[in-house]
Chains A and B, each alone.
Chain A
Amino acid sequence: MGRETYINIASLALLAGVPIWAWIVDEPFTITLATRAAIFALAGVGLNLALGLGGLISLGHAAFFGIGGYAMGILASHAQSYTPLMEVPFAIEGTKSMLVIWMVAIVTSALAALAIGLLSLRTSGVYFIMITLAFGQMIYYFAISWPAYGGEDGLSIYVRNDFPGLNTLVPIQFFGLCFGLLCLVLWLMSAVQKSSFGLALSAARQNETRVLSVGVEPYRLRLVAFTISGAITGLAGALFADLNRFVSPTMLSWQMSGEIIVFIIIGGVGRLFGPVIGAMVFILLEHVLGGLSEFWHVYLGALLLGIVLFAKGGVIGALAGREKAHD
């Protein structure tokens, strides 16, 4: 096993160990922090497929995070008020079932990513960044001005949604659920990285002409990557809304998109566990520095500058060295 593998295992062990310790000593707030980290990590793992492997710098991933969040909020709010979502042409009821909510979050955010990708992937470089940002902002302002679901104030859900066999209001159980999903998605993503698709997507990032000249369309690869990426970030959004029992347009804001990118940069762009470590560091800084000063983002900015200038591989790059070629 390479050094990166040990770092990956250690990061998962830490992410699971801290809340278990907090559970034993009865520190529920720490469990909530760890849950936030796991959910942010999941959002980052989603973006990392597009950004790290595919080289698609999306500044609009908050759109998918927020769509996932609103999928949860809308379904759960209808369930708690016993009103159907719609009655014509056929009736759709709200639901408190997490499994259904996750499916809806994944499908809606995947569709949104597909639609946004279809248009924005025709551009590249800075234009791509700007167009994804523009789509993100459109959805953000739409959410603000749509009164049916709280508009600017957002939507509150009184009770966390249900998962068979678990009491999701117990912090450690909800953490376990989020952590389990994160592990599942990491495992899937590690397979995707090593697959035919992963090889071709990564080749398209490095050299588009090369991929074209072996008969493969980079556009299709990127569109699929962007769609899967959006779906995973959407799932994270549904979990995040469930964690807070609240969803608001803040989840759709471009600062959120930026934060997801920050997780990836801190941990290491294109590294499978980059967003996991990045999200943990982010939450830690937010908690520690946020306690010292309201302007803790200044320190975060300094850290980012340091990483971008001196440690381009992020934390994992600094610890594990140059990326080893696969197999």
Chain B
Amino acid sequence: MTDVVLSTNRLFKSFGALRATNDVSLDLRKGEIHALIGPNGAGKSTLVQQITGHMMSDSGSVHLMGDDLSGKGPAARARLGLGRTFQISSLSMEHTVLQNAVLGALGRRGDVMRFLKPVMKDRALLSAAQDALARVGLAEYAAMLTADLSHGQRRQLEVAVALTLQPKVFLMDEPMAGLGLEGAQQMIALLTELRQSAPILLIEHDMDAVFALADRISVLVYGQVIATGTPEDIKVNPEIRAAYLGDEVPT
């Protein structure tokens, strides 16, 4: 099991009587895209927050490259190599596209407590930021205010900022949400390419994207993983068809 990069081990989380996360053990291996699917209310968002450290688990643990993340907050987890994008774009809207990417590079370098040197003239940070923007196709928008970007471009910028962190894993929370057909195609191409850099745990509603991208799929229902397998396994699993996929399965 040396190729496991990120794993959750018997995670639990309850809100009152509701078991939002019920004994979830998952792993993400080197070079793969592991998709997590499940109907609304299955507990995907809760699980994501337990992995990122925004929410503490009742029990169980999360490991990243052998590091136990228990008790660490979101910033510490990001520093250890957890790069994430958000379901709802989370960017500094008053900053330029480039400034958002530079902030990521700055976080990666870890020397935010510098008070007098102009950050936007730091060659190393700028080139890291520009590389990331170029990879997601936003190079020409670098000087634009983030608030002026389209929804799809904001999603791309989220990915670019995650890239500047040079993370060990990507955790992507519905990167396709709200994208049109063309935008989704671009994002699929981008994620296919990103997999070379680090494995991706992909939380996604868009079944076309999931089946196009994922090496493995886990299905979460009522806080429990009811199945994990290759896209082919998942497609033919009658239990999953009944519980969740319905007619959405591409034939």
Contact = CB atoms under 8 A, between A and B. Distances in A.
A237 B124 CA distance: 41
Contacts of A210: 90-92, 100, 103, 161
A183 to B, nearest CB: 16
Nearest to B78: A215
A212 interface: yes
Nearest to A325: B96
Interface stretch (B60-68, B106-114, B193-201, B214-222): B106-114
Interface residues of A, number: 30
B115 interface: yes
Interface in B86-144: 86, 90-96, 99-100, 102-104, 106-108, 110-122, 143
A196 B103 CA distance: 8
Contacts of B161: 210, 214
Given A206-B93, A207-B93, A214-B103, A196 B165 contact: no
B75 A216 contact: yes
A99 interface: no
A19 B163 CA distance: 54
Contact of B120 (A188, A191, A217, A326): A326
Contact of B107 (A214, A224, A323, A327): A214
Interface string A120-144: 0000000000000000000000000
A206 B84 CA distance: 18
A129 to B, nearest CB: 22
A33 B122 CA distance: 42
Contacts of A297: none
Contacts of A323: 94
A123 B236 CA distance: 51
A110 to B, nearest CB: 14
Given A213-B52, A213-B90, A214-B161, A203 B95 contact: yes
A199 interface: yes
A196 B112 contact: yes
Most B CB within 10 A of own CB, among A202, A211, A215:
A215
A9 interface: no
Contacts of B106: 196, 199-200, 214, 216
Contacts of B178: none
Contact of A216 (B84, B99, B107): B107
Contacts of B119: 194-196, 198-199
Contact of A194 (B107, B112, B120): B120
Interface of B: 52, 73-76, 78-79, 84, 86, 90-96, 99-100, 102-104, 106-108, 110-122, 143, 145, 161, 164-165
Interface of A: 188, 191-192, 194-200, 202-203, 206-207, 209-217, 220-221, 224, 323, 325-327
- State the 8 A-B residue pairs at the shortest beta-carbon distance, nearest first: A214-B107, A215-B78, A215-B79, A327-B120, A215-B107, A196-B114, A203-B92, A206-B92
17 contacts: A195-B115, A196-B113, A196-B114, A196-B122, A198-B115, A199-B119, A207-B90, A210-B91, A211-B75, A211-B103, A213-B90, A214-B78, A215-B75, A216-B107, A325-B143, A326-B99, A327-B120
